[in-house]
Amino acid sequence: MNPRLGITVGLMLLITGPVSAAEVYRNVDAHGNVTFSDEPSKGAKAVEVKPVTTITLPKPQNVRETEKLREEVKREGSIYESVSFTYPKDDQAFHSGSGDIQFRMSSTPGLEPNHKYEVTLDGQPVGQSTSGSIIVSNVFRGTHEAGIHIVDKNGVQIKSGAPIRFTVHRPSVQN
């Protein structure tokens, strides 16, 4: 026998072995008793078994580290009494031909080192700043909602202020 043929046949048996082991057969005997087996028998029918859902739980040390981070974020956020926009004001409407909007914000007390103001526009982050001023370009006409947050060095929100709504008027080709 050719050694290569022997190796090929052996590999084929290894590959097909696990496939047959994964099959499940259902058999009902003369008394109506139902049995399941991984080996075929007379009168048995193959049953399709769906994959089992498994969940991998995090390791206890990872859970403790996550809890520590949450406590740290909570502690950092508690140093701020408030964060808010100083411009634009809530429900303000204004004209902006280019759609550029300058947001100004402040907090009490002022920002700590490694913290930034973050502005969201219609739920999406649009900028971060330590100076208290962010310019957002090409804001579409219409009414928008802006959110204000203080984030830590990892970008995690540690304090949020009340959102504001404002309306931008921009010229169009039609008017």
Q: Per-domain residue ranges for the chain?
A: 3-47, 61-169
| Region 80-87 average pLDDT | 94
pLDDT in tens, 99-122: 999 999 999 999 999 999 999 999
Instruction: Tell me, yes or no, if the pTM score tops 0.85.
Output: no
The predicted pLDDT at position 8 comes to 56
Tens digit of each residue's pLDDT (9 = 90 or more) over 129-152: 999 999 999 999 999 999 999 998
**Domain topology for 61-169:** Immunoglobulin-like (2.60.40)
Q: Which residues contact 151 (CB under 8 A, 6 or more apart)?
A: 115, 116, 117, 118, 128, 157, 158
Tokens for 54, please give them: 């498994």
